[in-house]
Amino acid sequence: MIRNNPAVRRLRERTTPRGIALGIAAVLIATGASLVPLVTGNSDDGDLTATADRTSAPAPRPSAGRKAGGAGSADDEEWDGRVRILGDGSTSYTGPQPGRLKPERLKPGQRPPQFVVFSWDGALEGDDRLFSRFRRVAKESNAHMTFFLTGIYLLPKEKKDLYRPPRHGTGEAAISYPTRDHIRTTLEQLGKAWKEGHEIGSHFNGHFCGAKGGGDWSAAEWTSEIDQFYSFVQNWKTNTGFTDLDPLPFDPTREVVGGRAPCLEGQKTLIPASKPFGWRYDASSAGDFQIWPSKKNGVWDLPLQMLPFPGKDFQVLSMDFNYLYNQSKGLTEGDPAMYATWRKQTRDSYLAGFERVFHGSRAPMFVGNHFENWNGGIYMDAVEDVMRSVCPRKEVRCVSFRELTDWLDAQDPALLAQWRTLDPAQPPGWSSPGR
C-alpha cells in the first residue's frame, strides 16, 4: 500500500514547505505500485482504414530524415492524398494532421490569445476510460491536448526483454507492463486523438526516477531511451502479433517533437539527446512561475507552473499529485468527507491561475495530469470543469504543446523577451485583441 510506506515519508521530507511535490511516480516506483489499471471495452467512433502504398520505416537511429520529420517540415510538403503504410504496418503517413492550429505572427501591440495546454502523462486507456473521456471533453470544449505516451504501453509483457533500459537490467521497468487489452484500447485512443488534432508526445519508457533514473542518465543513455520509444511505437504489430488493427494514422518520426521526463528529472542531459531527433520543446522542468517561455539550448522549455492555492499562503505546482500531496498528505485514498472540498479547492486553484494571466501577462498556462482516480476522481472532475469553463471563452486557445511551439516560433523574439519580464498579473497595455 502507498499510504504507510516509508517512501511516502521520504518524499514528504524532501518536499519544500512551499508545497511542491516531485510527483506520484516517485512514490509508485519506490513502493512497486502500478500506474497501469486493467482495461476492457472499446470507445465509440470509427477506425482508420488504410489501403495505400507501403514504404520502409525510418531508421531506428537518429538521422537527417528523422530530424527533418520531427521538426515538422513534412507539414509544409504538398501531400498527394495517398496513405503510406510504414514499416511493419504499425504506423502510416496520412498527410498533415487535421485541425492543427495555424500560427500567425502578431502585429505590433496586438494582444496574444490566452493559451492553455492540458497534458497527460502515460496516455493509457484503462478500465475507467479516462483517455476517451477527455477526448470527449476536449471535443465539447473546443480544445486540443498533449498525450505523453509511455513507450512500453505498446509492448506486451512477454516481450519485455526487448526493452534495454539505461542502468537497469533487461526488461526492468518501474511501472507495470500492459496487458494485450491495454495495448489494443490505447492504440485505438492514440489514433483517434491524433485525427482530432491532439498531440502525441513522449513519456519515454521505464519511468525510472531517483537513483539510476533519468536524473543520472547521460545524453547517450537518453538517446537510447528515445530510440527505444520510437521502436516500440513503430513496431507494435510485430511485437504484439496483432493482425486485425489498423496502423496508427501518423508517422511518429514526424509527429513526436517533445516529451516530459518521468518525475521531471534529467532535463540537462535530455535536451542535448533530443535535439538530433528534431524535438522542439521539453516539458521536464521541475517548475516555474507563470511567465512566458524561453529556450534552453535551442529547445523551448515548457515547465509546470506555480498556481495560487486557495486558503493557503503558498502556491502549488500545476499537476494533480501536487494537489493530492497538499490535501491528503500523499494518500491516493484520503478522507472521503473531504473530497468535495478538495475538488473545489483544486478547481479554484486552476481557475485562479488562469484568471491571473488572462487579465495579466497572457503567459501560456500549463496543466499536467495522470489518468488516475485518486481521491475518488476529484482531480479528473476538477480538470474537466476547468476545460469546460475556460476553453470556449473568447481569446482563449486550448492547444497542444506542439501548437504552442509553432506559435512561439512565429513571433518576434524581441517581443517574447519583453513579455518574459512581466509579472503574471501584469498586462503591458495591449492595443488590440489577439485572434
Angle at 402 between CA 272 and CA 434, to 5 degrees: 130
Compute the average pLDDT of residues 25-46: 30
In a domain, 432, yes or no: no
In a domain, 425, yes or no: no
The pLDDT, as a whole number, for residue 61 is 38
pLDDT tens digit sequence for 312-323: 889 999 999 899
Q: Provide the pairing of β-strand 294-296 with 299-301.
A: antiparallel
CB of 316 within 8 A of CB of 6? no
Helices (H), 52-205: 64-70, 130-141, 180-195
**Is it the case that residue 8 has pLDDT exceeding 70?**
no
In a domain, 135, yes or no: yes
**Is it the case that residue 15 has pLDDT exceeding 70?**
no
Q: What cell numbers appear for 430 in the block?
A: 495591449
Closest CA to 57 of 185, 203, 247, 276: 247
In a domain, 430, yes or no: no
In a domain, 431, yes or no: no
The pLDDT, as a whole number, for residue 108 is 87
CATH of the domain at 234: 3.20.20.370
Phi, psi of 114 (to 5 degrees): -90, 105
The pLDDT, as a whole number, for residue 327 is 93
The pLDDT, as a whole number, for residue 30 is 28
Give the three-class secondary structure for 115. Answer: strand
In a domain, 291, yes or no: yes
Structural domain for 216, as ranges: 6-419
E strands present in 292-377: 294-296, 299-301, 306-308, 315-317, 365-370
Q: How many domains does the chain have?
A: 1
* Rounded distance between C-alpha atoms, residue 220 and residue 62, angstroms: 12
What does the DSSP assignment read for 422-433? S-TT-----SB-
> Other C-beta atoms within 10 Å of 49: how many?
8
Query: What is the rounded average pLDDT for all residues in the chain?
Result: 85
* Rounded distance between C-alpha atoms, residue 261 and residue 23, angstroms: 11
The pLDDT, as a whole number, for residue 77 is 64
**Is it the case that residue 11 has pLDDT exceeding 60?**
no
In a domain, 152, yes or no: yes
The pLDDT, as a whole number, for residue 431 is 75
The pLDDT, as a whole number, for residue 18 is 32
In a domain, 125, yes or no: yes
**Is it the case that residue 250 has pLDDT exceeding 90?**
yes
Burial 181-199 (b: 16+ CB within 10 A, else e): bbbbbbbbbbbbbbbbbbb
Q: What cell numbers appear for 424 in the block?
A: 503574471
pTM of the model: 0.84
pLDDT tens digit sequence for 218-240: 999 999 999 999 999 999 999 99
Helices (H), 113-266: 130-141, 180-195, 219-234, 236-240, 252-255
